[in-house]
Amino acid sequence: MLEKFSPIQNDLSILKSIIGLGQAFHIEVMAEGLESVEAGCLLIEIGCSVAQGFVIAKPMPAQNVIEWFNRWQAPQEWLNIKRMQS
């Protein structure tokens, strides 16, 4: 979970390793518990562009999902990120 994530070197190494394994096996990795735009920026930079968490959407009734999907826009900071070279 990313709510207690801090970019300490060991934590960053673990994240990069998990994402790298997913890429090596052609498996899309999803970050769970994303709670800040800044953590989302870091994930995108290191190769994880799929996530779920409160920064994207709080839990909602099923009947609200289509309306949310049609209106939701990624934060501009995420759209401006360039991924690190693998």
C-alpha neighbours within 13 Å on the C-beta side of residue 7: 9
Q: What is the mean pLDDT of residues 46-72?
A: 96
In a domain, 4, yes or no: no
Q: Can you give the pLDDT at residue 82?
A: 76
DSSP state of 31: E
In a domain, 70, yes or no: yes
Active site residue 32: yes
Choosing from 32, 35, 45, 77, which is the catalytic residue? 32
Tell me what percent of the residues of the chain surpass a pLDDT of 90: 78
Instruction: Write the Ramachandran bin of 33: left for phi over 0, alpha for psi from -120 to 50, otherwise beta.
Output: left
pTM listed for this prediction = 0.79
In a domain, 27, yes or no: yes
In a domain, 64, yes or no: yes
Total number of domains constituting the chain:
1
Domain that includes residue 72, residue range: 9-79
